[in-house]
Amino acid sequence: MKKQVPAPAPVLLNLDVPRVITLKSKSGEFVYKTRRVTLKDWEQCFLGFIDQSLRVDGEFQKVYDADSSLIELADRVIVDCNTAKVPFSHRLAVGAVLRTATPVEDSGAEVMDRVVIGLGAVWPVEGASQVFEGLLHCFRYPSIEDLKRWKFENSRVRVRGEGKDSVSSYPSRLAIAMKLYDDLIESVDGYAVGGSPLEGKENIVREMDGAHKAMAVMALFTRDSEVDVQ
């Protein structure tokens, strides 16, 4: 039985509306206004994620750090204060909120020669946080060449050093997914720019939020990753 396509969001998510993020802690309530996060911002953020395996004196260690890059993202986009005086925990929380986009249940339905991925997201604006479900991304069905590109790009490991001391650096899957999105996307539903529905491939490629691009493609290539052989 084919999966049901998630229903589109009843209210459009306006991508060009600046986000206003409210954080609460024991010391009070804090409000941070951000400018629009650009695709360049997201690319820089995702490429800044550190995913490494270290061999030091023959012993292996694993290093992963996304927090630092999310803090740097917050530093770039917060517009209403001097971020150098904002606690790391606040900046990390802002970065995490900006990145929030997750596949919805039953995402990945096949419709004709297309695959529809549904995302859910929180988009905090002045006065309240809007919660969206069923933000739809309709992709052309990936070809074997698309799959090879995805696998190849994700397998490119940079190795520095040799012998007992070396560092293996793994590529950012989110940065790779952002690039593939532009090739595969056909249409979207649930999004708007300037108050009007986001339509047309060229407009979608230019206007879609980078975190949403990345998460939609991640879901596209990892859907139904577990199958049973009867």
Q: pLDDT-based confidence at 55, cuts 50/70/90?
A: confident
Residue-wise pLDDT for 156-210, tens only, equals: 777 777 767 777 777 788 999 999 999 999 999 999 999 999 999 999 999 999 9
The full set of domain ranges for the chain reads 37-64+100-222
- E strand or H helix at 216, and its extent? helix 210-222
For the chain, the helix, strand and coil percentages under 3-state DSSP, each to the nearest 5 = 35, 35, 30
Determine the Cα–Cα distance for residues 189 and 138; give it in Å rounded to an integer: 8
In this prediction, residues 142-168 reach a mean pLDDT of: 81
Determine the Cα–Cα distance for residues 116 and 110; give it in Å rounded to an integer: 6
156 vs 148, more confident = 148
pTM of the model: 0.85
* Structure tokens given for 229: 């052989």
| Residue 190: C-alpha distances to residues 23, 109, 131, 166 (Å) | 26, 17, 12, 47
